[in-house]
Structure 1
Amino acid sequence: MKTLVTGSNGLLGQKLVKLILDEGNHRLVATARGTNRLPIPEDKYIFQSLDITNRDQVLEVIAQHKPDVVIHTAAMTNVDQCELEKEACWDLNVTAVQHITEACELNNAFLVHLSTDFIFDGENGPYNEEAKANPISYYGESKLAAERILGESKIDWAIVRTVLVYGIAHDMSRSNIILWVKNSLEEGKEIKVVDDQLRSPTLAEDLAKGCLLISEQKAKGIFNISGRDLLTPYEMAVKTAEFFNLSTATMQKADASTFTQTAKRPPKTGLLIEKARTVLGYEPHTFDEGIAIVSKQIASR
């Protein structure tokens, strides 16, 4: 099977590339805007620079490589940035999906598309795959619009909805709640952590595994791929502090109204993953196990 991954320089893209190469059953084409930042020698795969907002480039690259599966991870995911830069958000999260969908139709490729819990308003979470979407941010609106493009297309597709992805990029270029809490408490900083929002935090390796299971089975439809625990960020922070034996004396509970954020956040999301477990055999780590995995990765760097 030949698999093409977009956004290969990103956190999920990095984890997918490693997982796909470790599995050994795929010919891999990794794509990203600009140069290749993966630490893996290019003799093991093909890297192709790709601007997903450029229709001609998308059509050309996918026609050239003719993948059996496209796993589309590239997106603008900074929720506040999407609110401030709506045109760029729409280009990356919606128009680009139109280009990729068109290319998949022309080349008979199966499309796995990444979406988000932020398509929901957070009033009645956690959500299953049939729940009614009602985004309260521009980011959520853009991701829901992308889902509708697939739903109205003629291609075979899967939508992967996920939540609060955490993990370590090879170059430590991205922070996450574990790193932020660990570093802040080690430095004795006073931090406020939200305790009135609920999420099901997702280890990047688990999300990559879910995407690969879908692509190998060419399982059609919508799948929730997230962690198994429903936690507030404060609870995640406490678990992190306990794992690293750090004092929580400088950590305070806060509600979302304490923070000034450009975009609204849904209060209670989280995703129910029974479908993924039953249909795909997906089984994610607990958040405690995820902290241990991240800890080992931090130590190795």
Structure 2
Amino acid sequence: MKTILVTGSNGLLGQKITAQLLSHKQFHLVATSKGKNRFPVKEGYKYAEMDILDKENMEQVIAQYRPDAIIHTAAMTNVDPCETEKELAYQLNVGAVKDLASICEHYQIQLIHLSTDFVFDGASGPYAEDAIPNPLSYYGQTKLEAEKVLQNSSCNWVIIRTIIVYGIVNDLSRSNIVLWAKNALEKGTAINVVNDQWRMPTLAEDLADCCLLAVEKDARGIYNVSGKDMMSIVELVYRVADFWGLDKSPITEISSASLSQAAKRPVRTGFILNKAMTELGYNPHSFEEGLAVVDRQLKELNS
């Protein structure tokens, strides 16, 4: 059985990978994150504290467990803070990847790296893997630079780009657009939502599946991985309201230009998913099916 080490295991994707590895038991898992383990189940896998900004610490942990593959989910993903805290964004999103790539080269470890639709400018989405990147934000720039680091390295690399990941963790410590919209509309809170950006939101379980498929199939290269439904951000929020039977009157449609955000967002991203589906066997849920997964998990948490 292969051993997989996951960085950022306390995050949404990291926790979903942990859950899937524990239920399928087809790999040994070493979960790593900065600070204590927040996953509710503590048995059946190893946990190690690991700081991706400390190369020596990373080398120590990786040398100890000698994984066959590393799934690198840890990153600075909040787009606006990346504009204002560029040095930290660079260290987390590029510097850490350089260090990981060199460690993976040394130990001949497969490195699966999570990237983003924000490497594109959104002028001509949905995108195939070979489309020319042109990031509009510093976040997108750092993620593209990390992609280039891997493409120039001799480790066995996989880049999985994704879009708006949603889902829940057990302690509800992580929010995302689906939970934000649901919670606000349940309270009747007025919300402003942009109507001029289009995305293909991704269920965290689907993304976790695809990461594991990449290990299973010993994949190499770039894969664009998202949900299969394209929608505007405001349509996403309307569909959340419809799914849970919530009043839509608190929603006000606004344009992106009316928001004074530090980082520029692409207008229309989205992915052509044929490569991941054909080569990896990726099969994402529809958006409503994904909401049903979230609903079931929320009910389990509250029962």
By how many angstroms is 1:293 displaced? 1.0
By how many angstroms is 1:163 displaced? 0.2
Structure 1 counterpart of 2:150, one-letter code: L
In structure 2, the gaps of 5 or more residues are none
1:19-168 matches, within 5 Å, as 19-41=20-42, 43-168=43-168
CA deviation string 1:50-80 (max 9, x = no partner):
0111111111111111110010000000001
Which runs of 4 or more aligned residues in structure 1 lie more than 6 Å from their structure 2 counterparts after TM superposition?
none
By how many angstroms is 1:257 displaced? 1.1
Structure 2 counterpart of 1:193, one-letter code: V
Identity %, equivalent residues: 50
Tell me whether 1:13 sits opposite 2:20 in the alignment.
Answer: no
1:251-262 matches, within 5 Å, as 251-262=251-262
CA deviation string 1:204-234 (max 9, x = no partner):
0000001000011111100011100111111
CA distance in 2, matches of 1:49, 1:164: 27
Most deviating of 251-260 and 68-77:
251-260
By how many angstroms is 1:253 displaced? 1.5
* Cα contact 2:11–2:174 (8 A) shared by 1: no
Most deviating of 179-188 and 110-119:
179-188
By how many angstroms is 1:191 displaced? 1.4
By how many angstroms is 1:251 displaced? 1.2
SS of alignment partner, residue 239 of structure 1? helix
> What is the TM-score when the length of structure 1 is the normalising length?
0.98
CA distance in 1, matches of 2:156, 2:183: 44
CA distance in 1, matches of 2:49, 2:188: 42
* Cα contact 2:123–2:266 (8 A) shared by 1: yes
SS of alignment partner, residue 113 of structure 1? strand
User: Cα RMSD over matched residues?
Assistant: 0.9
Structure 1 counterpart of 2:13, one-letter code: L
By how many angstroms is 1:252 displaced? 1.8
CA distance in 2, matches of 1:67, 1:99: 16
CA deviation string 1:185-209 (max 9, x = no partner):
2222221211100001000000000
Structure 2 counterpart of 1:154, one-letter code: S
By how many angstroms is 1:138 displaced? 0.6
Number of residue pairs aligned between Structure 1 and Structure 2 = 300
Structure 1 counterpart of 2:264, one-letter code: K
CA distance in 2, matches of 1:169, 1:237: 20
CA distance in 2, matches of 1:179, 1:65: 36
> What is the TM-score when the length of structure 2 is the normalising length?
0.97
In structure 1, the gaps of 5 or more residues are none
